[in-house]
Amino acid sequence: MQKSMEKIAANLPGIHNLKNMGSTGRRSIPFSPKSAFLDLYMRQNERDRLTKEKTRLQKRREQINQNLTVINERMAKLLKIATAGDKQLGKKERAYSKSGKHTVLEY
């Protein structure tokens, strides 16, 4: 029963992050200025952690975009080489794969 409820909750929008849900106002410690300071401290730590995580994710996204750019440039160059080599090769020098597409082989 518990696992099925988790699956249902995981599929509902906005439920995957329960920390974003509002507080119900119930506390184990009665409200006092000390508990407010504790709450402020905990929220500040969470904010700092999320800020650091956001920075790491931005750096990772930039890194991924750079890698994709390099890969796309290399693929474009290889495609030019492959199509230029295809025009120069005779029919006997082409190698065909099982799918029927030809592959240019250079030695």
Q: Please give the chain's pLDDT, 107 residues, in tens.
A: 555 656 666 666 655 565 655 555 556 666 777 788 888 999 999 999 999 999 999 999 999 999 999 999 999 999 988 888 666 655 445 555 555 555 555 54
Neighbours of 102 (CB within 10 A): 15
Query: Does residue 4 belong to any structural domain of this protein?
Result: no
Domain range for residue 80? 29-103
Amino acid at 103: T
Overall number of domains in the chain: 1
Within a domain: residue 18?
Answer: no
On whether the CB atoms of residues 67 and 74 are closer than 8 A, the answer is: no
For residue 82, the Cα-to-chain-centroid distance in whole angstroms is 32
Taking the C-alpha atoms of residue 2 and residue 91, their distance in angstroms, rounded to an integer, is 64
Q: How many residues does the chain have?
A: 107
In angstroms, rounded to a whole number, what is the distance separating the alpha carbons of residues 69 and 59?
15
